[in-house]
A and B are shown apart, each in its own frame.
Chain A
């Protein structure tokens, strides 16, 4: 698919997500992941960083896309917004690791969507931050992310209201993004 059409499709899915369609939103994030992964690997390789580091950046970027999605204007093109977020997170990651390199021109449309597979990871991923979350948030994030529970499932399992599960999930994800940012490595 050509870059422009691809971005139009992303924008379409994002608008659906904004309207509350979580299936479209999930599909969008799954579509973006290989693109972000290829971009992260290309950006980090010159700094001698491993694929697991790139996966860190991918996860961090996905969190930022999610938590900052209100900063995308539904009428504005999706590509420049996505590139700016990905670039910001990449620079952030490089700065945190104390490397100085110049970034390649990040034009996603030139990247094949096959960004390679997710690396097998031991510790280098968002999961290591879970343990820092307050127990309530950690339980909810784990149940939904890893066990694949729905909001309603989690609510029933922990005798909570759907609303309380939503709040815990949202706070947990925000806290994860925060943890990523403040981490020194």
Chain B
């Protein structure tokens, strides 16, 4: 087939317009998050007196941090799906999350006596945290990867990692309302480990699934 012939076929296919990336993202995230939320309700469920906890600074801090990570990584994911889009700013903005966490750790170390540090860090629920965050993130991860396949990520593994980060952040936001361990020390260790795990999973999956 000559190149001009191919162009004729492509032009004839012009009316079959693919969904925009933003729309594909919304369409994929609705079922992805719905599944994660149902699993959360069925298996974990919210902590007792959840609304009363909103005045508790440590609780508020960890939930807000998780939602901030959701917002910032979602921004990055959408950009990574578009070739030639500027990603440096979106990547640098992510650093806000560890910076805030660092500040939270500092505040915790100053307000809690040194004898209690290790107890706060180990918490009561570490293993459940490690398992639950990636588990809750699986359906969102599948949804985000599906959405990115409609796009054209220049760096498949990186885009997959960002997808994993977003999925982990969604898992963490849900899990945060279940877990009784609110100390930033606990969050810094176990949430980070759990999110790192699903980020790595996303990177591996992305390297396979996001090539085009």
Contact = CB atoms under 8 A, between A and B. Distances in A.
Interface of A: 17-18, 20-23, 25-26, 29-30, 33, 55, 58-59, 62-64, 66-73, 76, 79-85, 88, 118, 121, 125-127, 130, 141, 144-146, 148, 150-151, 166-167, 169-170, 173, 177, 181
Contacts of A72: 82
Nearest to B24: A70
A4 to B, nearest CB: 15
Contacts of B15: 20, 22, 166
A34 to B, nearest CB: 10
10 contacts: A25-B10, A63-B10, A68-B151, A70-B17, A70-B21, A121-B2, A127-B1, A145-B5, A146-B1, A173-B10
A130 B3 contact: no
Interface in B49-96: 81-85
B154 interface: yes
Contacts of B21: 70-71
Contact of B1 (A71, A125, A150): A125
Nearest to B23: A70
A70 B1 contact: no
B3 A20 contact: no
B28 to A, nearest CB: 14
A25 B152 contact: no
A81 B10 CA distance: 19
A88 B10 contact: no
B113 interface: no
A26 B18 contact: no
B99 interface: no
Contacts of A67: 18
Contacts of A144: 8-9, 12
Interface residues of B, number: 33
B14 A17 contact: yes
A121 B212 CA distance: 25
Contacts of B81: 71
Given A26-B7, A29-B10, A125-B1, A83 B84 contact: yes
A181 B212 contact: yes
B9 A141 contact: yes
Nearest to A55: B3
A62 B8 CA distance: 11
A88 B154 contact: yes
A58 B3 contact: yes
B23 to A, nearest CB: 9
B20 A20 contact: no
A125 B211 CA distance: 21
A69 B82 CA distance: 10
A22 B7 contact: no
Nearest to A72: B82
A156 B212 CA distance: 34
A144 B15 CA distance: 14
Contact of A22 (B14, B24, B151): B14
B170 to A, nearest CB: 23
Contacts of A170: 13, 16
Contacts of A23: 11
A152 to B, nearest CB: 10
